[in-house]
Amino acid sequence: MSFVEYGDTIKDGDTAIVFLGHESMFPVKVQHGTVTQTKYGVIRHSTDLIGKKYGSKVTCSKGGWVFILHPTPELWTMNLPHRTQILYSTDISIITMMLELKPGSIVCESGTGSGSLSHAVIRTVAPTGHLYTVEFHQQRAEKAREEFREHGVEHLVTVTNQDVCKNGFGVSSIADAVFLDIPSPWEAIGHAKSALKAEGGRICSFSPCIEQVQRTCLAMEEYGFTEINTLEILLRVYNVRTISLQIPDLGKAAEDNSSTGFDSSNPSNQGSLCANVQQGTVQFKSGVPLREMVGHTGYLTFATKS
């Protein structure tokens, strides 16, 4: 099993996603002799998972059923264990596009955190690219290495435990893109410039506060970055509803009234007018936004090395 290569069959040691519904799923490490408890009953890894195909419908001990899905960066983002605040697919998608990532790209990242963005970047730059990710916290760095190894992508990523603001990324003049998700990104702009290739490399900084953005933009200008711009991505979800409306046959009523000299302006004739209007019902689909929507996550500041 690998997050960048699809496998048909569930194997011992794989990470799989147990799908109970769109709002209910969780990851499980498949191990021979192990069982997983769900609200629909027990899943026995040896008989219910190992050897079955990904996407299979598995019946649990209580008679209910679940689907077993092959992991992807998107599913992992929704189900990973949170060691820090993470980036979600809404921001990840624009980061991947604006940094112009593609297979073969070399990317530097700090900090690694829970690895949400890391998995998406690895999938994008595979099979010939590489991710150099720096994490200040030692335990989080060790856990990230363990996850990358379990997910079959350790050959595409190098995890370093150090302070990027003091020691940089450990590489020089090779990166196509740099991503910063740290409390003081302006202190790492110089190291980011050193890590980027000679010309045309892209940088992105994620910050929740506008004061951080202001200091980061000033630092980018100081180090000669161009095309500096800041975005905020807000997700707005719509519910699709079926709406029924009564449609009066006004044309037929108007013809009948004109032929009989009916005066619709006379208050005494209003009841007769309503009786004469033949009403029908029409149904149509309409999109209605949620009353509450996900708000601010962070500002994304992009720039290009001149």
Domain residue extents for the chain: 9-71, 76-234+297-305
76-234+297-305 CATH: 3.40.50.150
The pTM assigned to this predicted structure is 0.84
Q: What is the CATH number of domain 9-71?
A: 3.10.330.20
Q: What is the pLDDT of residue 277?
A: 43
Is 114 annotated as contributing to ligand binding? yes
Residue 91 known to bind ligand: no
Q: What is the CA radius of gyration of the chain?
A: 28
Identify the pLDDT of residue 273.
46
Task: Please report the pLDDT score of residue 247 as a whole number.
Answer: 79
Model pLDDT, residue 252: 59
**Coil, strand or helix: which one is 121?**
helix
pLDDT recorded at residue 22? 86
DSSP lists the bridge partners of residue 158 as 132
Q: Strand runs (DSSP E) across 22-92, as ranges? A: 24-29, 35-38, 41-44, 57-59, 65-69
Question: Residue 259 annotated as binding?
Answer: no
CB 198 within 8 A of CB 173: yes
Contact in structure between 113 and 85 (CB atoms under 8 Å):
yes
Is position 115 annotated in a ligand binding site?
Answer: yes
Task: Establish whether 258 is an annotated binding residue.
Answer: no
- Asked if 257 and 273 count as a contact pair (C-beta separation under 8 A), the reply is yes
pLDDT along the chain (306 residues), means of 10: 91 95 93 94 95 95 93 95 94 97 98 96 97 97 96 96 96 97 97 95 97 98 97 90 82 56 54 50 86 86 96
Give the residues across from 285 on adjacent strands.
Answer: 242
100 among annotated binding-site residues: no
